[in-house]
Amino acid sequence: MLQTVEQETGASPQWSVIWLHGLGADGHDFAPIVPELVRPHWPALRFVFPHAPVRPITINNGVPMRGWYDIVGMDFRSRADMAGVRESVAQLDALIAREIERGIAADHIFLAGFSQGGAVILSAALERTAPLAGLIALSTYLPDAQATTRADGAVDVPVFMAHGSSDPVIPLAVAEHSAQVLRDLGLQIQWQRYPMAHQVCAEEIHALGDWLQERLGVA
């Protein structure tokens, strides 16, 4: 089981958000977003921020750092080590199972990810047949989008997907193509575009809050 950083917004949470960080970061990276995102009248949520394993990253001269998979080149059609992606999807499945064991219904679990972390949750959604509350994919893309299919009986899940128009790490066109592939595969995408680089912004956090509020069923 991956080590995690956890925050609960109230007693006895009945909703969970499992949030995967980007390359070279760790589980602490997005923990500060919780007070900016969560609204006072929401039900209690548990935020789970796992640490990715440390692994050599080819594109960074093999320097070891926390990453959900190796990046082997610049071409987005083949840059992701798909064996590493599948390994991270399996680790994510274990975290989902632990939340269910702790009393959170599967359809009350959100998966969130930034950059590499977002690539993993999008890959996971194409294989998962059990319910989820939704996906939050920030500044990310779908690995191996050219060869993507969905597993038989894969769950239909709403997706909040946001990207910066001047992202130098994952070009906007790559993210837009990924969003279209996901739509073609039947996922419900709410697409957001912001005048920013490879980051998050206040307007994005507010829009995500609106999206989450609707999924949580509160006014």
Residue 193 in contact with residue 166, Cβ under 8 Å? no
Q: Among residues 51, 93, 177, 198, which one is catalytic? A: 198
Q: Is 115 a catalytic residue?
A: yes
Q: Among residues 88, 139, 167, 178, which one is catalytic? A: 167
Strands 109-114 and 134-138: parallel
Eight-state DSSP code of residue 45 = E
Q: Among residues 115, 123, 139, 178, which one is catalytic? A: 115
Q: Is 198 a catalytic residue?
A: yes
* Greatest CA separation for the chain: 49
Contacts for 83-89 with beta carbons within 8 Å, 24 or more apart?
Answer: 84/55, 85/119, 85/120, 85/123, 85/143, 86/123, 88/20, 88/52, 88/120, 89/120, 89/123, 89/124, 89/127
> And the tokens for 163?
């990207």
Q: How far apart are the first and last CA of the chain?
A: 36
Torsion of Cα atoms, 38 then 90 then 169 then 215, to 10° = -30
Q: Which residues lie closer than 8 Å to 204 by C-beta, 6 or more apart?
A: 138, 162, 192, 194, 196
Catalytic residue IDs: 115, 167, 198
